[in-house]
Chains A and B, each alone.
Chain A
């Protein structure tokens, strides 16, 4: 049997609901097996239906436990759930211990749940190289919601934003001061924030620090804001006072800021508001915008999990209502095509250059400083880059 035929055979089983076939297909795409491309080609038309939710946050924040509870909650709402959990690969041996299942005991034998652990395999950014394709297969299989749990993330593991429709950032009390909260990185990518382990001391403070950070860039109440086209009560642009005013008052109340600092903060708020407008929506009359909610959860006993599920669903309706869901499909399609073109073009050009002996010759010249790498790449593409 050729790779094509094996892929077709597996796809037939997979689309008939065979979970073992799904699991094997995931192994193929993870390993870059020769069947993988053929399988993804067959699966692609069936994708684009699932709500992909990213769960990210620092190690030990309780992501796996929260995912387990969330999966249970979603099952209770009649939705089928796939879980993808990424854990780090050892930089020394290339091996990995994938322990997320230990925290996901409640749903393990439920036929409406499928859980797969992935090793990051040296990939930075919080996901594994094949996570996008794995999500594609789970989507094609027909799961309603796909929960993607990243590697324990610090500040810059933001790849999940590009893969998930909705990103939930999980934090815990006592994580750090306001400085941490205004840093760029994972704190910017949350559509929903969960302050987990909220039964611990300091939860209120962590929540208010996140709220404050969000005030810098968002208008309105947590969740969907529908800004009325008609000014209400004479106020411009709707009934909700600009959030930046509230934020400024909050800053002012702390008593630690001079008038100059407050004026500076107001400037930053305007700037930040412009910056996030494209992602979360503006507050012009008639607009619909999203202001990330901040929830308190205690994953170990399920507190706050129903509200989390509500907010994730609300964000999905926001995406659909405002056309962002459709726009995302276009972006994803463009991004996929571009990534494959660069990957395949590089592979073709390099293998031809190797076969012709040019590759070894040029690399040697670069190593000896007789040629620079830019000219070498240029020459390879000039001679071996065509079809």
Chain B
């Protein structure tokens, strides 16, 4: 009973590569915080290796990648591969930002659970996260 109340969902909000815009990432981080989650923000310009290391060390339940610069098709699959190599394949992977419709299937194929495009409802992101965390 007591243990359950102290359990917090931990989310890593990540920005990969040469992508200078993090307004969306910060809005989502803030929404997660207000929903009672513990959010670790990586800051801008992260390599997939650094994000994977952070995800493992912080033992997060979710990695939410925000992408506005078009490199998601390469960097997100790299990140997922690195997480798998480190035995962290139970982490829920979400993506958001500017991701063209026709590139979504490839991301889902690579292991992203869901892609939230512009105009996504914050409550929906939070609800989806709560329902789908894997432990």
A binding-site residues for B, Cβ under 8 Å: 19-20, 23-24, 26-27, 30-34, 89-90, 92-99, 101-103, 105, 108-109, 114-117, 119, 121
Contact = CB atoms under 8 A, between A and B. Distances in A.
Contacts of A31: 3, 6-8
Contact of B88 (A20, A92, A109): A20
The 5 A-B pairs of least Cβ separation, nearest first, read A102-B43, A95-B33, A23-B59, A94-B36, A95-B36
A101 B86 contact: no
A117 B3 contact: no
Contact of B32 (A27, A95, A119): A95
Contacts of A119: 8, 38
Contacts of B29: 97
B50 A108 contact: yes
B24 to A, nearest CB: 15
Given A26-B59, A31-B7, A116-B57, A90 B41 contact: no
B78 interface: no
B54 to A, nearest CB: 6
Interface residues of B, number: 32
Given A33-B7, A96-B38, 11 more contacts: A32-B6, A33-B3, A93-B36, A96-B33, A101-B43, A105-B50, A108-B54, A109-B50, A114-B57, A117-B40, A119-B8
A109 B53 CA distance: 6
Given A98-B40, A119-B38, A19 B57 contact: yes
Contacts of B2: 32
A357 B90 CA distance: 43
Contacts of B32: 95
Given A20-B86, A117-B58, A119-B8, A96 B39 contact: yes
Chain A interface main SS type = mixed
B59 A99 contact: no
Interface in B45-95: 47, 49-50, 53-54, 56-59, 86-88
Contact of B42 (A27, A93, A102): A102
Given A105-B43, A109-B49, A23 B36 contact: no
Contacts of B49: 109
A290 B38 CA distance: 40
A93 B35 contact: yes
A73 B29 CA distance: 32
23 contacts: A20-B86, A26-B59, A31-B6, A31-B7, A31-B8, A32-B3, A32-B6, A33-B3, A93-B36, A95-B34, A96-B33, A96-B38, A97-B29, A99-B41, A102-B43, A103-B43, A105-B50, A108-B53, A114-B57, A115-B57, A116-B58, A119-B38, A121-B8
A27 B33 CA distance: 18
Contacts of A116: 57-58
A308 to B, nearest CB: 24
B30 interface: yes
Contact of A34 (B3, B35, B54): B3
Nearest to B61: A27
Contact of B33 (A93, A114, A121): A93
